[in-house]
Structure 1
Amino acid sequence: MTKMLATSEQQAIAKAFLAARAAKTPLTDYPGAMPQGLAEAYAIQDSAIAFDGRPIGGWKVGRIADELVARFGGHRIAGPIFTNEIVDAADGAVPAMPVYGGGFAAAEAEVLLRFGDVGTREYDIASVRDAIDEVRTGIEIASSPFPDINKHGPAVTASDYGNNKGLVIGPRIAGWQDADLIAMPVEFRIDGERIGAATMETMLDGPFGSALFLIRALRARGIAIPPGTWVSAGAITGVHEIRPGQDAEALFDGKIRVSCKITG
C-alpha cells in the first residue's frame, strides 16, 4: 500500500471526527466523502492522529470480510489505541470503559501481544514471535460517534481510528511461547450471559499473523513501533454490541478472566 497524504477534505473529515469524539456527540452522517480504499482511509486516520497529538500505546487489528478482500487488497485493517485509553486490569480490577452512547459501541475478547525491540529486520509468520515479549488476555472497546461506522466497509471503519475507544489489559498467558494459542477456548459474556464462544482458529493465521501484518502496515505508513507497543490482535468470539451500564467479561482457557463495565 502506498502512503497517501491527506487532502484538505480528508483533513476536514479527521477534524470532524475529533470534534465529535471530544464533544461526545453522535455523527448522524459521515462527515464528508467516504473513503473508497484503504490508502484514503489511512490518510484520514494519519491526519487525525497528527491533529489529536496524544501518544499511541498500541494498535487494534480488525479483519476484512472475506468477500471484500479482493476489493481492498488485504485481510486486515489497523487503528491506533491511545495510551490514556489503555487500562491494566491484570490484578482482577473491573475498570470503567467509556463508549459513545449515541454512536457505535462494542466489546471484543482479544489476545494482546506486546512488542519488544522490533528493529529493522524482515519477519515472517514464524520469526515474528521474536519481536513479542509478552502475551496477555484482554478486551478491546470498539466505539465511534458515527453509529453506522461498520456498515460501510473497512475503509470507513479504518478512517475513524479503526473504531477503537480503548483497551483492557488482562492477565498474562503463561508459557505462551510453547502454548497452542490457536486452540485455546474463549468465551464472552455480557451481564453474565454467554453470547459468544470460539477459538483463534477463526482468526486467519492467528494473533501472530496480526502482529506480522501490523509491522508491515506501519512501516509502509512510516510509523515507528517503539518497545512496549501493544497489538490487540482481533476479535475472537465476534464483535459484540454493548450499551452503557452493561458489564463485559472474557474468559480464556476456562480460567483466565478479564472484565470491565461500560459507561457512557
Structure 2
Amino acid sequence: MTKMSANSEAENVAQALLAARAKKTPLTSYPGAMPDSLADAYAIQDHAIRLDGRQIGGWKVGRIAAELVGRYGGNRLTGPIFSDEIRDGSAGDRPVMPVFVPGFAAAEAEILLRFGAVGDGDYDADTIRDCIDEVRTGIEIASSPFAEINLHGPAVTASDYGNNKGLVLGPPIADWRDADLIRMPVAMFIDGAQVGAATMETMLDGPFGSAAFLARTLRARGIPIAPGTWVSAGAVTGVHEIRAGQTAEALFDGKIRVGCRIESL
C-alpha cells in the first residue's frame, strides 16, 4: 500500500467513525481495515481530530495489557477528551454524561492531572511533576458506537478517540504534592453497589508516569499541550461497563466522592 493510499484509508476510517458518533449510529463492524499498530491508530485519530474541529480539553491514557506490549511497542495508549464533554462534578452534584446506545459504555475511576507549562524536557514520572499545577479525582466515561471496540486490540481502541466520551471533574486533592497517591484506596460504585476497589500501585508507574507518557507521545505526534490541559491518568479499579439510566460514583481515600448519571445519546 502506498503512503497516499494509506493516508486515504486512514481518513476514510476516521470519517466513518466520526459520522457514527455524530449521527449516533451503531457500528456492528469496524468501518474499514483495522489498524495493526498504534502508529496506524494515531493516523486515524489525527484525521478525526482535524475533521471534528472541536477544542481538546484533555487526554485519556489507558493501559495496554502486558501480553500485548511486545506487539504494540508500548504499555499505554491515548485519546482526546473534548472540552465540551468535560463536566464539573466537584460540588457534589452528578452531571449527566451521555453514552452511545447501542454501543460500548463504561465508567472508570481516575486521577486527573492538569498541566501547567510543558517544556521540551525528556520527562519521566518524577520530573513531569513540575509541569502539573492541579490534581483532582474524577471519572472517565468510555463510550463508542462500536460495541466491540475493546475486543480487537489497543490499536482499534485508540483509533476511535481512545474510546472516550467525556470526563467528570471531581474535587481536588489539595495536598497532592505530599500525598501518597500511589497507595490511596479507590472504590467504584454503580447504582450504589461496589464494582471495584484498588490502589494506584496497579497502574505501572502511576498517574505521573501516565502524564510523562502523554507528553512524550504528543510531542512525537507534533501536538502541543496547552496550559490547563487535563490528563485522565488511567482506570484505577478497572473498566466498569454501565448502562443508560445508571449512576456511577467513585470514592477516593475513603472520603472524596465524585459521581455522575448516565444517559443515552
Q: TM-score, normalised by structure 2?
A: 0.97
Aligned to 1:48: 48
Aligned to 2:260: 260
Matched length: 261
**In 2, Cα distance between equivalents of 1:239 and 1:213:** 20
Matches within 5 A, 1:191-210: 191-210=191-210
Aligned to 1:116: 116
**In 1, Cα distance between equivalents of 2:230 and 2:110:** 12
**In 2, Cα distance between equivalents of 1:124 and 1:21:** 35
Q: Is the 8 A contact 1:6 1:43 kept in 2?
A: no
How far apart are 1:127 and its partner, in Å?
A: 1.1
**In 2, Cα distance between equivalents of 1:124 and 1:235:** 20
**In 2, Cα distance between equivalents of 1:221 and 1:6:** 17
**In 2, Cα distance between equivalents of 1:121 and 1:15:** 35
Q: Secondary structure at the match of 1:165?
A: coil
How far apart are 1:123 and its partner, in Å?
A: 1.7
How far apart are 1:10 and its partner, in Å?
A: 1.1
**In 2, Cα distance between equivalents of 1:122 and 1:153:** 29
Aligned to 1:186: 186
**In 2, Cα distance between equivalents of 1:18 and 1:85:** 15
Q: Percent identity?
A: 73
Q: Which runs of 4+ in 1 moved over 3 A?
A: none
1:169 lines up with 2:169 in the alignment:
yes
Deviation string, structure 1 residues 147-175 (Cα, Å, up to 9, x no partner): 00000000000000000000000000120
Aligned to 1:35: 35
One-letter amino acid of the counterpart of residue 167, structure 2: L
Matches within 5 A, 1:197-236: 197-236=197-236
Q: Secondary structure at the match of 2:165?
A: strand
How far apart are 1:231 and its partner, in Å?
A: 0.2
One-letter amino acid of the counterpart of residue 42, structure 2: Y
One-letter amino acid of the counterpart of residue 80, structure 2: P
Deviation string, structure 1 residues 127-159 (Cα, Å, up to 9, x no partner): 110000000000000000000000000000000
**In 2, Cα distance between equivalents of 1:122 and 1:128:** 9
**In 2, Cα distance between equivalents of 1:123 and 1:151:** 32
Aligned to 2:157: 157
Aligned to 1:95: 95
Structure 2: gaps spanning 5 or more residues: none
Aligned to 1:144: 144
One-letter amino acid of the counterpart of residue 91, structure 2: D
Q: Is the 8 A contact 1:57 1:82 kept in 2?
A: yes
Structure 1: gaps spanning 5 or more residues: none
One-letter amino acid of the counterpart of residue 89, structure 1: G
Deviation string, structure 1 residues 95-130 (Cα, Å, up to 9, x no partner): 000000100000000000000001222222211100
**In 2, Cα distance between equivalents of 1:166 and 1:190:** 17
- C-alpha distance 127-253 of structure 1, shift in aligned 2 (>3 A): same
**In 1, Cα distance between equivalents of 2:89 and 2:70:** 38
CA RMSD between the two structures: 1.1
How far apart are 1:5 and its partner, in Å?
A: 10
Aligned to 1:237: 237
Q: Secondary structure at the match of 2:90?
A: coil
1:76 lines up with 2:79 in the alignment:
no
